[in-house]
Structure 1
Amino acid sequence: MARRRPNTDELLKRLDYRFERKELLQEALTHVSAPNAGGQSYQRLEFLGDRVLGLAIAEMLYQAFPRAPEGELSRRLAELVRRESCAEIAEAWDVGPHVRLGAGEALSGERKNQTILADVAEAIIGAVFLDGGWEPARALVERSFKDLLHAPRRPLRDPKSALQEWAQGQGLPAPTYTVVEQTGPDHAPKFRIMVKVKGKEGAFGMGASKRVAEQAAARSLLLQERVWTEEEHGVA
């Protein structure tokens, strides 16, 4: 018995976009293995959508983090456009049931394949761009990625590296770390460490190892100097 294809109305509601050229959406949902794909798979739209996504995310980051240096913006961009992030967006749109696949691919569970989902997400963005232009495509990216913008799934960089980079950017010597206190038994010590950057007030961090305490101290100094914010970098 042939599998009944789901109605795309629910998908369109989740996208919050109506296509003038509905064939573009169908192309964005068509895997190269699909019967009668006829060369109209999502691959070309994915190529376009990848570029549209990158520009839209770059603009969002530029506006959202006005004090972030180029290096941090680049790391945030890479995190947001990576395959896993795009697949997460595709899952939120629930595109899996709508993807046209060959029989073998469908039976082997390729509707949940992270690479395919990520490709389809980018293809849909490309399709919206072709159908409606830059503004609808940018708006779709903003609606879909705004939560990930401030909550990256992986650390962008550790506090010690960030502090070192910041100090260098200020023309200052490298930060210095000093153990000011060690408490607890030998098998479960606790360290209190102070980090200093020339001309700045020292900051402290606690941890079960020197490494953890140094990271905590570096984070405290970054927050103290307002290089980082609690909203952007969460809890250590």
Structure 2
Amino acid sequence: MKLSKDLSAFCARLGHEFGDPALLIRALTHSSLSSETRPDNQRLEFLGDRVLGLVMAEAVLAQDPHAPEGTLAPRFNALVRKETCADVARAIDLGAVLKLGKSEMMTGGRRKNALLGDAMEAVIAAVYEDAGFDAARKLVLRLWADRIATLDTDARDAKTALQEWVQARGQMPPDYVEIARSGPDHAPVFVIEVRLASGESARAEARAKRAAEQAAARALLERIDGT
């Protein structure tokens, strides 16, 4: 099977040439376009999630050999969560080659975190099936390298931490407001402001709403912890 020009270009961005191109096509096929002769990527997503988890577990252990489980767990979660997978997918423009049904095409499926994250996991599984665990491991470590290197020492969910902070003081839950959105449809940038009932606020931007919310919460925590 010969890949199209777009898929060949994607393989170059991914850094893997498939011996069995059908695996890649399946990994990129959303259930909205599946049929008896065109299987979707859900089974590959299931497998890819496990491959990613093992690689990231090894990575966080190697990064800090003395960290206790309570410290490792939030770091691991930050690396494997769906939003992180979606951000990695955006970095290699996976959305441009997703195979979607008309309904998902019309509702911006190429930009959705869930679809991008699922497809990224499916692609990892496709590489695993095509060339084995070592190839999949090298791929994941390369695509996640910057995130592993810059992982916060305390990788707690910032939104949860902020929620706990306001609850401890009897305040209303934080309010997250989308202030602006810019960039192309396939790679938007969101500016989110988090506001507390007591008047404190902070803004942050990211390529996914949840990531921007997390960054805004983290910025506000740093501000109020310093007061």
Scaled by the length of structure 1, what TM-score is found? 0.62
Q: Is 1:50 paired with 2:60? A: no
Cα gap change, 1:33 to 1:117, in 2 (>3 Å): same
Higher helix share: 2
**Aligned residues of 2:79 and 2:148 also touching (Cα < 8 A):** yes
Pairwise CA RMSD: 2.4
For residues 124-163 of structure 1, the aligned pairs below 5 Å read 124-152=123-151, 156-157=155-156
Name the SS for the 1:8 alignment partner.
helix
Cα gap change, 1:84 to 1:208, in 2 (>3 Å): closer
Aligned to 1:60: 59
Cα gap change, 1:42 to 1:21, in 2 (>3 Å): same
Tell me the CA shift for residue 153 of structure 1.
7.7
Aligned to 1:93: 92
Aligned to 2:21: 22
Q: Which of 1 and 2 has greater Rg?
A: 1
Gaps of 5+ in 1: 159-206, 214-236
Separation in structure 1 between the aligned mates of residue 223 and residue 64 of structure 2, nearest angstrom: 33
Tell me the CA shift for residue 37 of structure 1.
6.2
Q: Which amino acid aligns with 2:120?
A: A
Cα gap change, 1:53 to 1:47, in 2 (>3 Å): same
Identity of aligned residues (%): 40
Name the SS for the 2:17 alignment partner.
coil
**Aligned residues of 1:53 and 1:141 also touching (Cα < 8 A):** yes
**Aligned residues of 2:18 and 2:130 also touching (Cα < 8 A):** yes
Name the SS for the 1:7 alignment partner.
helix
Name the SS for the 2:99 alignment partner.
coil
**Runs of 4+ off more than 6 Å:** none
**Aligned residues of 1:34 and 1:100 also touching (Cα < 8 A):** yes
Aligned to 1:119: 118
Separation in structure 2 between the aligned mates of residue 39 and residue 130 of structure 1, nearest angstrom: 18
Aligned to 2:166: none
Separation in structure 2 between the aligned mates of residue 49 and residue 40 of structure 1, nearest angstrom: 16
Separation in structure 2 between the aligned mates of residue 137 and residue 111 of structure 1, nearest angstrom: 24
